Amino acid sequence: MKHKSIWKLAKRHKKRASRIAKETDVLIIGGGIAGMMTAYLLKDSGLKVALIDKGEIGNGVTSCSTGKLTYLQGNYRNIATTQSKEDAKLYLHSQREAIRLAKHIIKKENIDCNFEEVDSYLFSSNKSDEKELKKEAELLEYFGIPFLWMQDDDFILPATLAFKVEDTAVFHPVKFVKGIAAKCSNVEIIEYVTAKEITKHEDVFFVKTDHNLWKTKELIVTTHYPFFLFPGTIPFRTHLERSYLIASEVEETLPECGISVGKETLSYRFHKDDKNYLLFASESHKMTNHIDYEKRYDEMEEKFKAYFPYKMEYEWMTHDVVTDDSIPYIGMLKDHLFIATGFNKWGMTNGILAGKVISDLLLEGSSPYQKLLNPKRRQKLSTLLSKRSLSYLELSTLYVRTTLIKNHFFYRNAYVINENGTPYGIYIDEKGIEHKVYNKCPHMHCNLIFNSNDKTWDCPCHGSRFTVDGDLLQGPSTTSIKIKDK
Ligand SMILES: Cc1cc2nc3c(=O)[nH]c(=O)nc-3n(C[C@H](O)[C@H](O)[C@H](O)COP(=O)(O)OP(=O)(O)OC[C@H]3O[C@@H](n4cnc5c(N)ncnc54)[C@H](O)[C@@H]3O)c2cc1C
């Protein structure tokens, strides 16, 4: 089995980035679906637009998603509780608008990204979750969205109850991002440049990167998770959830995708290309709750084998930023500084929406969704008490767990030692060679844990990832954990 996402394309050669300081009207940091959509929608604005990415565009979390474009996300009852029914309705409209926009752009630009209109199913995988499913159905009815209840024998997973909606789709997320990038000839796109620091003097932002300095009037941060704490204090208002995925070659595909409600998340879709695939995701958990990733992979494989007779070809894991009220943070964080994060595992639609909302705010001065998505919005006290306090408790437990255990072993080939109060992570490779790194995440100093499937050191608090030699793979950290950098 290959330990990588089915969407990841072969890496291109790095182009050497310029060391010369640059000036632009709009700088976008991060070329995932959110950043690239924003660039696409600003490309003909008459403004000088540039986009930088730490790696190759489209190769971040976007390249690890399931690639569904759906408004049937099983989260309307959360929004109705944490905010209001009207907010849930507006959120639904935003998701439908994002799907329509994606369809329109794909057609207009003739983007080859395996876009296929399919039905979306929501289902309960056991009797006790049926009540939750019915609540989602009641809300859809209230919103005036047509849906159809299904017989359980019509369904590919063992569902006790299910319903479906139309006007949803699936696509290849990386081909989509690369496709729109190819249409942005008047946007300067620079890859393999990491933004490290932002300062502002007299209405101008200065962005220090590992190569050069950028000067810009408008700054848009679409790095999945912001790499700064202030403004916004996003780490204190979100948590990360990790999920595990499998792709398996199949002969036939079905024009449908689905997700379960309730505690156990099961999700699937089909993908039609030169070969056909079934994608299956399960084992969603808060990053802080489990440090034994291997066990989660085993559990997902067991489930897959129980449900499907196919050979597993690819497996990978990824995480997304989850907000307390199930609504993303998209919009202006401070004068001329925009962000898009907290997509709650629905960043295909919300990344497209982010492009629309941010470009509308910049060009028109308003968006119908700006209040709903406002990154500075306050949470209800009840939400703060129930969700935030639990998150802090989990984070503290994790910190104690990964600090107090001396010489913590991670699946035979990696362990953590403490030398004179400094923690080091050591990985022994197949040839017996030792790879030693500093074992604290430079972002907010959480202890790192070893991910034996991907052979990476991962931060369970905010999701930064590093190679066994300490090179930075994924932020919010902007520096490596190589010992010489200590
Ligand atoms: C298991 C799973 C399945 C999912 N399936 C779906 C789905 O079916 N449908 C759906 O709608 N959503 C889905 N999602 C959610 C979706 O994948 C994400 O929300 C979305 O891809 C996030 O896009 P992004 O542009 O914010 O981030 P990214 O794609 O990660 O892009 C951010 C970019 O910023 C760059 N970057 C980071 N830091 C810096 C820096 N300091 N300097 C320069 N560049 C930087 C990175 O290199 C990266 O390219 C899923 C999520 C998970 C976890």
CA angle 123/129/135 to nearest 5° reads 75
For residue 425, give its domain range.
405-485
Neighbouring C-beta atoms of residue 4, cutoff 10 Å: 14
464 lines ligand 1 (CB under 6 A): no
Expressed in percent and rounded to 5, the helix, strand and coil fractions of the chain are 30, 30, 40
Gap from CA of 239 to ligand 1 centroid (Å): 15
CA distance 44 to 21: 24
474 lines ligand 1 (CB under 6 A): no
Using one digit for the tens of pLDDT, what is the confidence trace for 162-174? 999 999 999 999 9
194 lines ligand 1 (CB under 6 A): yes
Same domain, 417 and 285: no
430 in a structural domain: yes
The pLDDT of residue 407 is: 55
Q: Which of these, 183, 176, 182, 343, lies nearest to 271 by C-alpha position?
A: 176
Contacts of 485 (CB under 8 A, 6+ apart): 438, 470, 479
Using one digit for the tens of pLDDT, what is the confidence trace for 311-370? 999 999 999 999 999 999 999 999 999 999 999 999 999 999 999 999 999 999 999 999
Q: Are strands 456-458 and 449-451 parallel, antiparallel or unpaired?
A: antiparallel
Gap from CA of 62 to ligand 1 centroid (Å): 4
Question: Could you tell me the CATH number of the domain that includes residue 301?
Answer: 3.30.9.10
Same domain, 283 and 163: yes
Query: How many structural domains does the chain have?
Result: 2
CB–CB of 41/359 below 8 Å?
A: yes
Q: Please, what is the end-to-end C-alpha distance for the chain in angstroms?
A: 36
Helix (H) or strand (E) holding 434: strand 434-438
pTM more than 0.85: yes
Q: Of 307, 323, 339, which closes a domain? A: 323
417 in a structural domain: yes
Probe residue for ligand 1, chosen from 7, 29, 66, 175 as the CB with the greatest number of ligand atoms within 8 Å: 66
The pLDDT of residue 486 is: 45
Neighbouring C-beta atoms of residue 11, cutoff 10 Å: 9
Question: Could you tell me the CATH number of the domain that includes residue 468?
Answer: 2.102.10.10
- What distances in angstroms separate CA 172 from CA 68, 89, 107, one per listed residue? 9, 28, 15
280 lines ligand 1 (CB under 6 A): no
| 347 CA closest ligand 1 atom index | 19
Same domain, 312 and 413: no
218 in a structural domain: no
Q: Of 323, 358, 390, which closes a domain? A: 323
448 lines ligand 1 (CB under 6 A): no
326 lines ligand 1 (CB under 6 A): no
CB–CB of 297/172 below 8 Å?
A: no
Using one digit for the tens of pLDDT, what is the confidence trace for 262-316? 888 999 999 999 999 999 999 889 888 887 788 889 999 999 999 999 999 999 9
The pLDDT of residue 13 is: 65
Helix (H) or strand (E) holding 35: helix 33-42
341 in a structural domain: no
Neighbouring C-beta atoms of residue 150, cutoff 10 Å: 16
The pLDDT of residue 408 is: 65
CA distance 226 to 211: 19
250 in a structural domain: yes
Same domain, 255 and 131: yes
Q: Which of these, 346, 386, 358, lies nearest to 91 by C-alpha position?
A: 346
pLDDT mean across residues, the chain? 92
161 phi, psi to nearest 5 deg: -155, 145
Q: Which of these, 179, 183, 40, lies nearest to 113 by C-alpha position?
A: 179
| 320 CA closest ligand 1 atom index | 53
- What distances in angstroms separate CA 146 from CA 165, 216, 346, one per listed residue? 7, 46, 21
| 68 CA closest ligand 1 atom index | 8
267 lines ligand 1 (CB under 6 A): no
121 in a structural domain: yes
Same domain, 304 and 165: yes
Q: Of 323, 350, 382, which closes a domain? A: 323
- How many residues make up the chain in this entry? 486
342 lines ligand 1 (CB under 6 A): no
CA distance 322 to 329: 10
91 in a structural domain: no
Same domain, 148 and 246: yes
- pLDDT < 50: residue spans in the chain: 485-486
63 in a structural domain: no
